Amino acid sequence: MIAYPALAEIRAVDQVEGFGDDPWWIIAIKCLAIFVILVLMTLFTIVFERKVVAKMQHRVGPNRVGPKGWLQSLADGVKLMLKEDIIPKAADKIVYVLAPIVAVVPAFLIFAVIPLGPEVSMFGQTTRLQLTDTPVAVLLVLAIASVGVYGLMLAGWSSGSTYPLLGGLRSSAQVISYELAMGLSFVGVFLFAGTMSTSGIVEGQERLWYGLILVPSFVVYLISMVGEVNRAPFDLPEAEGELVAGWGTEYSSIKYALFFLAEYINMVNVSALATTLFLGGWRAPWPLSAINDGMFNEGWWPLLWFFGKVIALLFLFIWLRGTLPRLRYDQFMKFGWKVLIPVSLGWIVLVAGMRLALNEGVQREELMMWGGGALAAILVASFVIPLFTERRADVDEDEPSAEPEFDPFAGGHPVPPLPDQQVPAVPVTAGGTADETTESEAREEGPSA
């Protein structure tokens, strides 16, 4: 007879300790707080971005609406809601209306598993500053983020226009490419933390942040999170020079505002996830964490450290937008598939070997010595090998080339020369005519030649 586990045992496996015991009204307060925080962070980030970029470009940013212009994004939101809502005649109306909702709802759900702080007392109830947690919370975040791209893809497809469709296809390809690198950057954190729970990962960084010991994983995540949320220099799905406005070309009024809201909430989400996985989460930075046995890691203080780190990462998004030009699409995809993913795979092998060595009793100092020596050898090779390849390339350039002479009329139509090609001159006699044929005759005889 097969013995099945009891329901209580199953729930114990699927539930992280410290969650699931809050009364319903505490859960309702947390849900409302997450909604308000994300909306306020969106309003703040829009004005913050405009002010920082204006400072970088030596011009005046928003300064009219509210104190020093800080209510400008609220005014823009009200304006978008009051604008005329236009639905294109060729659009699939049901999908066209549902696409913004599909994009914005997953953006709100991700913050449910982000730990904002430790246990606090709320109206006489002891609860954690986190809505919920699961043993696979980070994988849940990746799954929810994957659903959000369907909103952009459906928006492009349902608009009944060419440029939105191309923008939607770019969005899906971009998310697939860079989500792989993002997922691989998490593996090192899982190996060190021994869990995929967000609260467990923060607890594992009590002594040392993973961003300091897993620098390659952190760098790969920072790059892939920019590509994940379609921000400059990776904002190719809405490249105005190529696709007008991409997937959002045919949208207006509140529907366009929802896409705008989803984009900025996703910026906050990926920044909060980076804070949780690599920057110690809500824990205070050193030396504040060592004052009075960690008094700044208790109570409501951790909210300050958490949102301070999130705003610092949001500044990184803005800095990139204000300094880097947009990549070409082929460069962008090549960078994701041929650089980020191979680097992540190699780093995973190295981290797994380090963890195995530590588990087998190898001393940390010895491991750091061998690892530092291997890294130094790789750096030296990366500097030496290009010198030999460049020297060989110079030798090849000095050798005479046996390429045939460029003929601009060989294919029947005049073709402009490439940068390293020259159009042969037509010989002209003293009488002002060509020796054999005139230039017009050469064009006519081009196809037969």
Q: Distances from the Cα of 99 to the Cαs of 148, 240, 259, 292, 307, in angstroms?
A: 10, 21, 9, 51, 30
pLDDT digits (tens, 9 = 90+) for 145-204: 888 888 888 888 888 888 888 888 888 888 888 888 999 999 989 988 888 999 899 988
What pTM did the predictor assign? 0.78
Domain ranges in the chain? 83-386
pLDDT at 44 over 60: yes
DSSP 104-173: HHHHHHGGGG---EEEEEETTEEEEESS---TTHHHHHHHHHHHHHHHHHHHHHHTTSHHHHHHHHHHHH
**How do residues 290-333 score in pLDDT, each as one tens digit?**
676 667 788 888 899 999 999 999 999 999 988 888 888 788 88
pLDDT digits over 88-139, tens only? 888 888 888 898 999 899 999 999 999 998 888 888 888 888 888 889 999 9
pLDDT of 275 reads 94
Could you say which DSSP state residue 245 is in?
T
**Residue 35, C-beta contacts closer than 8 angstroms, at least 6 positions apart:** 108
The pLDDT value recorded for residue 313 is 94
Which residue would you say has higher pLDDT here, 380 or 198?
A: 198
pLDDT of residue 403: 58
CB 255 within 8 A of CB 102: no
At residue 8 the predicted structure's pLDDT band, cuts being 50, 70 and 90, is very low
Which pLDDT value is given to residue 437?
A: 47
Instruction: Check whether 445 has a pLDDT greater than 60.
Output: no
Task: Over range 203-210, report the average pLDDT.
Answer: 86
pLDDT at 42 exceeding the cut of 70 = yes
The pLDDT > 70 percentage for the chain reads 79
